[in-house]
Amino acid sequence: RPTATAHIFKSKLPDIPLPNNVLLHTYCFQKLPEIAHRPCLIAGDRTYSYAETHLLSRKVAAGMSKLGVRKGDVVMILLPNSPEFIFSFMAVSMLGAVATSANPFYTAAEISKYLAACKPTLAVTEAATVHKLDMGWGLKAVVTVEEPAENCVRFWDVAAADEKEAPAVEIFWEDAVALPFSSGTTGVAKGVVLTHKSLMTSVAQMMEGENPNLYMTEEDVILCVLPLFHIFAMHCVMMCGLRAGSAILLIPQFEIRALLEAIERHRVTVAMVVPPLIIALTKNPALHHYDLTSIRFVMSGAAPLGLQLQEALANILPNAIVGQGYGMTESGPVLSMCLGFAKKPLPTKVGSCGTVVRNAELKVIEPQTGFSLPRNHPGEICVRGPQIMKGYLNNPQATAAMIDAHGWLHTGDIGYVDDDDHIFLVERLKELIKFKGFQVPPAELEDLLMSHPSIADAAVVPQKDDVAGELPVAFVVSFDLTLTEEAVKDFIAKQVVFYKRLHKVHFVHAIPKSITGKILRKDLVAKIASI
Ligand code: AYL
């Protein structure tokens, strides 16, 4: 029964004194003197040591500054997993600038929305992606990692700058450093302002203390196959990996045999994955031809991990702990983490997302009343702590809708905390659709559908799928009887990245709505289930 008394949950690990006022790049490279010659980035046959990675980041900072990047400016990184991604991100941090990253597969229209929202000074990308950048939004220069496209600057010319020429800028803990985009609980994608404070704290919540929650060392080799432009890999692989002094194995594109070969060859010890990747791995017979015994833990995140899938993977990797992290771009990002990954591991439960991170509070509320719920009662998960976002970029209304006056961030996820402090997610209250862990904001597809001259009304909802988790499906009202499902699908496919494409289009007479005009998404989801 909900009561007005607050039921607040904490980590099973004790709170720790968190470092104060340390900038993100300083924190990530703090152990440099001890690990300078250890491998940091592995990309194909090239390995960069920690000293090289740090030096190249400083050089890129000097080079970017020459191209006009100043404190507070936004730099857009549109790259697959590569050393250049990491040098650029760290360089931006050193300049007191803000890194926004997006999927290089996005269409020109999608990228333009981001450019319009945050008006970057500089973009770092591949030659093949340059044509998607609309120069009308104030870009001063475009850097390409291979031979430069016309009017672009070569990355390695930028990286040739003298690191001593990087300007000394005063950067504050509360200054923004990263600006990923997320749709949050409602609407289209918005810029999420993450500061040095939020990200450094979130990394520290994983890595600090006598018993770090996420124990990784310079002996570890971390698999980086999830895209660095998304907050999961950006945080758990790049930032935590650098802080730990581990080697980061960069895989630019997913191909199962090459991946298994790389895991075996480089003796990967830690793998951060999403459930569809586990499905691809467990279902592939080639798995048994490779030696994967070096893996000591696998962290799944960004989407629900089925119990059977978790058990299937645990059977294939008997030496490894298979557990979950639960995060959200806006929450800085990690909310909870499996305690099996700790230095002195605590017991775990299959299906759980771990316990709330240290130095933070979590509560579960009844959505209608806002009252907090006791253990074992599912409700909306809320989190509070120094790691959460500063807010949405230029959008105080959306920020206020997500972070309440008492500092609680409302996730839009339904879950509960059990008798042993383990968090279990049950369902999603928010409208967000997740295709293989990627965000598909229904509002974005609905806006596009409504821009079609023959469509009078539209709604997009998730349909459950064994492989992708969820697929976007549209309900469309049209008075044009010649409009076909294929035509609607094509209309969307031309404008969006592959994972936002519509799987199915249902033509209906009306979209069910509440009296306040909100789409009754649950009714539509139920309708799909009954078809
Ligand atoms: P965003 N199980 C089920 N759903 C999850 C999980 C999980 N383990 N993790 C995230 N989600 C869903 O912003 C949930 O609905 O970040 C959440 O609100 O793209 C939404 O995804 C947020 O989507 C980690 C683990 C970072 C995960 C992340 C964030 C990834 C997704 C660090 O260690």
Q: pLDDT (tens digit, 9 = 90+) per residue, 349-397? A: 999 999 999 999 999 999 999 999 999 999 999 999 999 999 999 999 9
Distance from the CA of 439 to the center of ligand 1, in angstroms? 10
**Above 80 in pLDDT, residue 149?**
no
Burial class (CB in 10 A: 0-12, 13-18, 19+), 30: middle
Query: Is the shortest distance between the CB of 329 and ligand 1 below 6 Å?
Result: yes
Tell which atom from ligand 1 comes closest to the C-alpha of 184. Answer: 13
Query: Is the shortest distance between the CB of 335 and ligand 1 below 6 Å?
Result: no
Distance from the CA of 327 to the center of ligand 1, in angstroms? 4
Protein residue whose Cα sits closest to atom 22 of ligand 1: 328
Protein residue whose Cα sits closest to atom 23 of ligand 1: 328
Distance from the CA of 420 to the center of ligand 1, in angstroms? 22
CA distance 83 to 21: 27
Query: Is the shortest distance between the CB of 301 and ligand 1 below 6 Å?
Result: yes
DSSP secondary structure, 429-467, as one string: -SS-EEETTEEE-HHHHHHHHHTSTTEEEEEEEEEEETT
The per-type count for the chain, helices as H runs and strands as E runs, is: 16, 27
Query: Is the shortest distance between the CB of 478 and ligand 1 below 6 Å?
Result: no
For the chain, what is the mean pLDDT?
96
Protein residue whose Cα sits closest to atom 10 of ligand 1: 302
90 is written with which tokens?
Answer: 């760290």
CA distance 508 to 480: 12
Distance from the CA of 184 to the center of ligand 1, in angstroms? 11
pLDDT tier for residue 6 given thresholds of 50, 70 and 90? confident
Q: Are 297 and 325 in contact (CB under 8 A)?
A: no
Question: What pLDDT is recorded for position 531?
Answer: 82
Distance from the CA of 277 to the center of ligand 1, in angstroms? 15
Tell which atom from ligand 1 comes closest to the C-alpha of 329. Answer: 13
pLDDT tier for residue 150 given thresholds of 50, 70 and 90? confident
Distance from the CA of 25 to the center of ligand 1, in angstroms? 24
Q: Are 339 and 315 in contact (CB under 8 A)?
A: no
Residue 394: how many CB atoms within 10 A of its CB? 12
Question: What pLDDT is recorded for position 3?
Answer: 56
**Above 80 in pLDDT, residue 148?**
no
DSSP secondary structure, 253-306, as one string: S--HHHHHHHHHHTT--EEEE-HHHHHHHHT-GGGGGS--TT--EEEE-SS---
**Above 80 in pLDDT, residue 91?**
yes
Longest distance between any two alpha carbons in the chain, whole Å: 70
pLDDT tier for residue 2 given thresholds of 50, 70 and 90? low
Query: Is the shortest distance between the CB of 227 and ligand 1 below 6 Å?
Result: no
**Above 80 in pLDDT, residue 298?**
yes
Query: Is the shortest distance between the CB of 327 and ligand 1 below 6 Å?
Result: yes
CA distance 292 to 485: 45
CA distance 329 to 400: 16
Percent of the chain at pLDDT > 90 equals 96
pLDDT tier for residue 80 given thresholds of 50, 70 and 90? very high
Q: pLDDT (tens digit, 9 = 90+) per residue, 490-520? A: 999 999 999 999 999 999 999 999 998 999 9
Write down the pTM of the prediction: 0.97
Percent of the chain at pLDDT > 70 equals 99
Question: What pLDDT is recorded for position 1?
Answer: 53
Q: HSE-up of 230 (CA within 13 Å, CB side)?
A: 19
Mutate to test the pocket of ligand 1, among 203, 223, 232 (most ligand atoms within 8 A of CB): 232
ipTM of the assembly? 0.99
Q: Are 83 and 43 in contact (CB under 8 A)?
A: yes
CA distance 161 to 426: 51
Query: Is the shortest distance between the CB of 425 and ligand 1 below 6 Å?
Result: yes
CA distance 527 to 521: 10
